[in-house]
């Protein structure tokens, strides 16, 4: 099912370009997250949001920004993309409290 939808699924772009990755969810969850996955490193948290007015930095937020436009939408921006931001990016959602996170299918981003 597509409860957590990420667009685009794949993107190739050039160094210095501004990129926006979108995430939308129909799960009704308040909390949303952005992660990046690099080979051999697992997933690392970029930003997270507990509700529309709340934005928090994760462990690797430098070079990224986010916007929580609505409860169901959380976008990730790279203001000036660089090649070491080439990675697989995942959006996730969860209910309030100590609850499991549910992931989208990912966006594969390549920066040349």
Verify binding: residue 106, another protein, rule CB under 8 A. yes
The smaller minimum CB distance to another protein, of residues 43 and 52, is found at 43
Verify binding: residue 68, another protein, rule CB under 8 A. no
Verify binding: residue 43, another protein, rule CB under 8 A. yes
Verify binding: residue 40, another protein, rule CB under 8 A. yes
The smaller minimum CB distance to another protein, of residues 20 and 45, is found at 45
List Cα–Cα distances, 20 to 14, 72, 74, 91, 93, in angstroms. Answer: 13, 16, 10, 13, 18
CA 23-31-101 angle, 5° bins? 85
The closest of 85, 42, 41 to 62, measured between CA atoms, is: 85
Distance CA 46, CA 49 (A): 11
Per CB under 8 A, which region of 14-22, 63-71, 74-82, 91-99 contacts another protein? 91-99
Which parts of this chain interact with another protein (CB under 8 A)? 4, 31, 33, 40-45, 48, 50, 58, 90, 92, 94, 97-98, 100-106
């Amino acid at each position: 099912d597509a409860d957590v939808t990420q667009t685009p699924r794949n993107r190739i772009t050039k160094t210095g370009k501004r990129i926006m990755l979108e995430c939308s969810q129909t799960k009704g969850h308040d909390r949303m997250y952005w992660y990046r996955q690099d080979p051999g490193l697992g997933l690392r948290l970029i930003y997270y949001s507990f509700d529309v007015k709340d934005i928090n930095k994760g462990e690797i937020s430098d070079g990224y920004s986010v916007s929580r436009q609505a409860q169901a939408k959380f976008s990730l921006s790279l203001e000036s993309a660089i090649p070491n931001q080439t990675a697989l990016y995942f959006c996730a959602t969860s209910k309030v409290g100590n609850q499991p996170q549910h992931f989208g299918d990912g966006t594969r981003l390549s920066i040349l």
